[in-house]
Amino acid sequence: ENPTTQDYRSKTRPQTNSKNYHEMFFTITQKSSTTALKTKLLSSSLLKQKKSAQRAIGSCNDFVKTHWNDTSCDDSYSSSSVKHFSSISNKNGFVHASRQQGVPMKPAFAPIKVSSRTFATSTSSTASNQTSRIPSEESSFRALDADIISRIEADFQAVDVNGDGKIDSDELRILLRRSGAFSDADIVEISEIFYAGRAGESVPFSNLLDAIDGAVANSGATADKAGGNSLGVGSCAAEYMYDPNHHVWSEEDLNVNLTHVEPKTFIDKAAFGSVKAVRLLFDSATGWNGIITKEKVLQRVIFLETIAAVPGMVAAIIRHFKSLRLMERDGGLINMFLEEATNERMHLLSFVRMKNPGLFFRAAVIGGQFGFGSAFFVSYAVSPNFCHRFVGYVEEEACSTYTKIIKAIEDAPEGSELAEWKTDLAPKIGRSYWHLGENGTVLDLMYAVRADEAEHRDVNHSVVGIKAGDVNPRFDPALKLDLTLRKYVKSIMTRPSTSE
Residue 82: predicted pLDDT? 40
Q: Do 142 and 213 meet the contact criterion of CB atoms below 8 Å apart? A: yes
Residue 327 phi, psi (nearest 5): 55, 50
Residue 81: predicted pLDDT? 39
pTM over 0.75: no
User: What does DSSP say about strands 94-99 and 85-91: parallel, antiparallel, or unpaired?
Assistant: antiparallel
Residue 135: predicted pLDDT? 39
Residue 404: predicted pLDDT? 93
Q: Do 404 and 418 meet the contact criterion of CB atoms below 8 Å apart? A: no
Q: How far apart (Å, rounded) are the C-alpha atoms in residues 455 and 427?
A: 22
Ramachandran bin of 121, using left for φ above 0, alpha for ψ from -120 to 50, beta for the remaining angles: beta
Residue 127: predicted pLDDT? 37
Q: How far apart (Å, rounded) are the C-alpha atoms in residues 134 and 128?
A: 11
Return averaged pLDDT per consecutive 10 residues of the chain, 500 residues in all. Answer: 46 48 49 52 54 53 44 39 42 43 42 37 38 44 79 87 87 87 82 78 83 76 49 64 70 88 94 92 77 89 92 95 91 89 94 93 90 94 95 95 94 89 93 91 95 93 84 76 84 69
Residue 480: predicted pLDDT? 78
| Residue 199: C-alpha distances to residues 193, 232, 234, 471, 485 (Å) | 10, 10, 11, 18, 19
Residue 219: predicted pLDDT? 67
Q: How far apart (Å, rounded) are the C-alpha atoms in residues 241 and 253?
A: 22
Close Cβ partners of 193 (under 8 Å, ≥ 6 residues apart): 233, 237, 241, 477, 480, 481
CATH topology classification for 127-241+490-494: Recoverin; domain 1 (1.10.238)
Question: Which CATH number applies to 256-474?
Answer: 1.20.1260.140
Q: Where are the domains of the chain?
A: 3-99, 127-241+490-494, 256-474
What's the longest Cα–Cα distance across the chain? 159
